[in-house]
């Protein structure tokens, strides 16, 4: 397969392939970060995670329309506003959902699965009623499209670089919040021992609500970023949900580092396998390896030592 | 099961076509000249309906069965709109055999058992004379046994993989060879393409189409397939395969990626710097219509070629009238893709067959269907083949930035539908 190519061509292809893997890594991190908080910290199996992402995507779509009609001179920078709007829209909805539904189900994790699955169907149909069944085309500002010419032969997609930067920022933000802030300390205390945390004066209900809202908000940011690389339609969220759970479960619930490590290993193996053997086989092999590893390490790559 | 060599699974009785046509024409002339006497001129219900269908002295019921909720609603919405428009237009002209069409719309909900259940209801409870519906092959396969068992008539609009020929289905879209061969012949001749990269979603339609494509490229065009890749439905990362394509340097990418993956594929192709507006890089798709471009964005797919039988921009009088009527009915923003037009043909073909048969009875409509022709189709002229598919022309469109296609080629002759292509399987 490589015999007809010069060394320069090959190294260019491999460099671009390396970037492809990194971009997929960033996509996985963004997808999984919100769920890692919700599933990892709170134990809620949120099947509507994809729909929260798509909420972010639709907010981006509306922001782009708003800027196109009212502030056309600022259109190039609408994306930055859209990300912020997407975060708050998804977080607000998340807080509402937690207050109206999730908080009654904390002791019944399997019921959260069913309830959030129902929620995801409701959200999908709501999008369909509001925005129509067809996919909407989000217009991306010119500076985010196209590719960056690194050398003569190496081209890197700019939207990929943007997603990478966003993934790094979001991860640092969550890490700082979890491990450097007072609120993060409270979250970790609640995860480790809910009754004791309550006993020392932590408002566990409020912590739960904020944690859920934060997870949903980050899903919204991810959805906003994915308008550049994927589709925005009522059921597009379904495209991401399986990979998202795969990353979180494989990484070990409750561990931010585990999520990042898992996203890295899955994305790299998938991207490399895809290059050599095509999409479907790559997926099969990746899943097979994940299943085998989980057989020997059911708790995932990294796990939190918690007294149960 | 292989039907390619045995005789057709249903008997084809060519009825007195000429005399029924004359009757129909006479009836039409009478209706036109005496609009107030339409009711009186209509043949008696007992004559035109001997099998207990939902036909009264002035109405006839038909079914519309598409997904209006769930994943497939994206694609099926246009078909529903086209079918309703056609029915309303037919009614405005006086209906069929003097009877207004009433439609019962059911939701398949993107779920194949629901499709089966709803078709059961339409045929057995509502006793509809015909059903216009289904989109995916999976939904068609789910309702097929029910249509065959209760002798219903389904008008199926989607371009599909072929390998099927039911006495109870009229296929108004293209089967695979019509789409694939027209596209490949053009790209080989006009662009001088020699090397091809086949890429598709991983299910029966892309795989069958690519099998036909590969055979045609290798055995008839003297070309070479340098890669063939499939991706799970809903796959959203294509950067690796884009690098693979760079490495193999094909003259043409032959794409049959569907659904949400489509958007990801073209957006990432554009972002990777593979510019389809340049001369040295072409892409031929059989899965992107004006509908899909809404989600992909015209700027991301500008320059690609699509092999279809219909484009919204087709310059002919029928189509201009159709596009105008469609926009008046469904809003000025409405776009019309290949399948939407094929769905629009369904009620018209059924009307023509009913009038030729002089009856709503499914057996008689079926017998009258072969050689029914439509001069008023937006795509031009179509005719029903004995195998229940349509003779129609293949066309190549060049995607424009505004989301429309410019028609750059049209086959000279009507292409014969061949759902069981010998030598291609």
**Which range of residues forms the domain containing residue A225?**
15-294
A135, A130, A156, A145: which is closest to A13 by C-alpha? A156
Strands, E assignment, B191-313: 195-201, 224-231, 252-256, 282-285, 305-308
How many domains would you assign to chain A? 1
- Measured from the Cβ of residue B166, the count of other Cβ atoms closer than 10 Å reads 17
Q: Is residue A307 part of a domain?
A: no
By Cβ distance, the residue of B68, B74, B243 closest to A275 is: B243
Q: Which residue of A has its CA nearest to B228?
A: A278
Contact A37, A174 (CB under 8 A): yes
Q: Is residue A116 part of a domain?
A: yes
d(CA B399, CA B401) in angstroms, rounded, equals: 7
Q: Which residues of A touch B197 (CB under 8 A)?
A: none
Asked whether the beta carbons of residue A278 and residue B272 sit closer than 8 angstroms, the reply is no
Residue A6 lies in a domain: no
- pTM of model > 0.95: no
A145 contacts B244? CB cut-off 8 A: no
**Residues B120-125, mean pLDDT to the nearest whole number:** 96
Across A270-274, B369-373, B375-379, least confident range: A270-274
Q: Report the alpha-carbon distance of residue B48 to residue B372 in Å, rounded.
A: 19
Residue A3 resides in a domain: no
Query: CB A19 to CB B239 under 8 A?
Result: yes
For chain B, say whether A239 makes contact (Cβ under 8 Å). Answer: yes
d(CA B144, CA B153): 10
- Point out the residue among B74, B247, B260 whose CB comes nearest to the CB of A239: B260
Q: Answer whether residue B139 shows pLDDT above 60.
A: yes
Each residue's pLDDT tens digit, B352-366: 999 999 999 999 999
What is the DSSP secondary structure assignment for residue B44, as one 8-state letter?
P
Which of A142, A117, A222, A160 has its CA nearest to residue A19?
Answer: A160
Query: pLDDT tens string for chain A (308 positions)?
Result: 556 667 777 788 888 888 888 888 988 898 888 888 888 778 888 899 999 999 999 999 999 989 888 888 888 888 889 999 999 999 999 999 999 988 888 888 788 889 999 999 999 989 988 888 777 878 888 788 777 877 777 788 888 888 899 999 999 998 898 889 998 888 888 888 888 888 998 888 888 899 999 999 999 999 998 888 877 888 888 878 888 888 888 888 667 888 899 999 888 888 888 888 878 888 889 889 889 988 888 887 777 665 54
User: Which of B243, B264, B295 has its CB closest to that of A229?
Assistant: B264
A145 → closest Cβ in B229, B259, B270: B270
B168-204 tens-digit pLDDT: 999 999 998 999 999 999 999 988 889 999 999 888 8
Q: What is chain A's Cα-based Rg?
A: 20
In a domain, A127, yes or no: yes
Residue B124 has pLDDT above 90, yes or no: yes
Asked, for residue A305, whether it belongs to a domain, the answer is no
Q: Which two tokens stand for residue B16?
A: 């007195």
For A276, residues 6+ apart whose C-beta sits below 8 A from its C-beta are: none
- Please check whether residue A304 lies inside any domain of the structure: no
User: Within the 158-187 window of chain A, which residues sit less than 8 Å (CB to CB) from chain B?
Assistant: 158-160
Partner-chain contact B240 A133, CB within 8 Å = no
Asked whether residue A39 is domain-assigned, the answer is yes
Q: What is the CATH number of the domain that holds A36?
A: 1.10.3470
> Which of A5, A133, A222, A228 to mutate to test binding with chain B, by most B CBs within 10 Å of its CB?
A133
For residue B246, the distance in angstroms to the closest alpha carbon of chain A comes to 8
User: Rounded to whole angstroms, how far apart are CA atoms B351 and B95?
Assistant: 8
């Amino acid at each position: 397969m490589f015999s007809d190519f010069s060394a320069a061509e090959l190294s260019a292809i491999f460099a671009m392939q390396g970037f492809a893997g990194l971009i997929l890594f960033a996509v996985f991190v963004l997808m999984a970060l919100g769920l890692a908080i919700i599933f990892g910290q709170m134990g809620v199996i949120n099947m509507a995670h994809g729909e929260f992402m798509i909420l972010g995507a639709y907010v981006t779509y509306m922001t782009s329309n708003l800027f196109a009609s009212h502030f056309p001179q600022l259109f190039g920078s609408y994306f930055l506003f859209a990300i912020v709007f997407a975060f708050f829209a998804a977080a607000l909805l998340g807080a509402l959902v937690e207050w109206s539904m999730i908080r009654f189900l904390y002791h019944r994790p399997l019921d959260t699965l069913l309830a959030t699955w129902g929620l995801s169907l409701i959200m999908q149909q709501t999008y369909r009623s509001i925005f129509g069944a067809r996919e909407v085309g989000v217009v991306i500002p010119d500076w985010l499209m196209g590719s960056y010419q690194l050398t003569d032969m190496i081209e890197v997609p700019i939207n990929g670089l943007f997603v990478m930067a966003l993934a790094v920022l979001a991860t640092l933000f969550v890490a700082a919040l979890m491990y450097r802030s007072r609120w993060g300390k409270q979250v970790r205390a609640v995860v480790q021992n809910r009754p004791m945390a309550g006993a020392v004066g932590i408002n566990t209900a409020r912590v739960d609500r904020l944690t859920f809202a934060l997870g949903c908000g980050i899903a919204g940011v991810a959805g906003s970023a994915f308008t550049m690389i994927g589709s925005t339609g009522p059921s597009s969220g379904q495209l991401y949900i399986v990979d998202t759970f795969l990353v979180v479960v494989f990484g070990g619930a409750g561990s931010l580092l585990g999520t990042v490590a898992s996203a890295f290993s899955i994305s790299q193996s998938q991207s490399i396998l895809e290059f050599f053997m095509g999409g479907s086989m790559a997926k099969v092999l990746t899943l097979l390896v994940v299943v085998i590893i989980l057989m020997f390490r059911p708790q995932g790559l990294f796990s939190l030592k918690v007294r149960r | 099961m292989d039907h390619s060599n045995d005789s057709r699974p249903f008997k084809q009785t060519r009825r007195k076509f000429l005399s029924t046509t004359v009757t129909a024409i006479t009836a039409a002339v009478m209706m036109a000249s005496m609009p107030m006497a339409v009711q009186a001129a209509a043949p008696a219900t007992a004559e035109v309906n001997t099998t207990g269908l939902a036909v009264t002295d002035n109405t006839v019921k038909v079914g519309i069965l598409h997904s209006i909720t769930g994943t497939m609603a994206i694609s099926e919405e246009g078909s529903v709109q086209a079918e309703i428009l056609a029915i309303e237009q037919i009614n405005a002209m006086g209906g069929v055999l003097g009877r207004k069409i009433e439609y019962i719309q059911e939701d398949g909900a993107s779920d194949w058992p629901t499709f089966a259940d709803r078709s059961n209801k339409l045929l057995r409870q509502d006793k509809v004379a015909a059903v216009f519906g289904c989109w995916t092959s999976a939904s068609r396969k789910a309702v097929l046994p029910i249509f065959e068992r209760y002798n219903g008539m389904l008008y199926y609009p989607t371009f599909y993989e072929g390998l099927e020929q039911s006495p109870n289905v009229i296929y108004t879209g293209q089967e695979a060879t019509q789409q694939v061969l027209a596209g490949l012949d053009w790209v080989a001749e006009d662009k001088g393409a020699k090397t091809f990269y086949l890429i598709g979603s991983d299910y029966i339609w892309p795989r069958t189409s690519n099998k036909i494509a590969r055979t045609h490229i290798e055995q008839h065009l003297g070309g070479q397939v340098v890669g063939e890749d499939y991706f799970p439905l809903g796959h959203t990362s294509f950067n690796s395969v884009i690098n693979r394509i760079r490495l193999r340097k094909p003259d043409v990418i032959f794409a049959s990626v569907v659904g949400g993956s489509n958007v990801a594929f073209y957006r990432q192709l554009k972002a990777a710097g593979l510019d389809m507006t340049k001369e040295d890089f072409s892409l031929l798709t059989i899965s992107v219509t004006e509908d899909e471009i809404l989600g992909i964005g015209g700027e991301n797919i500008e320059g690609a070629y699509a092999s279809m039988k219909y484009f919204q921009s087709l310059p002919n009088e029928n189509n201009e009238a159709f596009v105008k009527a469609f926009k008046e009915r469904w809003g000025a923003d409405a776009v019309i893709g290949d399948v939407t037009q094929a769905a629009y043909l369904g009620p018209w073909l059924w009307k023509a067959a009913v009038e030729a048969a002089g009856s709503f009875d499914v057996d008689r409509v079926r017998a009258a269907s072969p050689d029914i022709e439509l001069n008023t189709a937006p795509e031009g002229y179509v005719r029903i083949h004995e195998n229940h598919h349509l003779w129609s022309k293949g066309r190549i469109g060049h995607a424009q930035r505004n989301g429309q296609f410019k028609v750059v080629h049209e086959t000279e002759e009507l292409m014969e539908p061949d759902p069981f292509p010998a030598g291609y399987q």
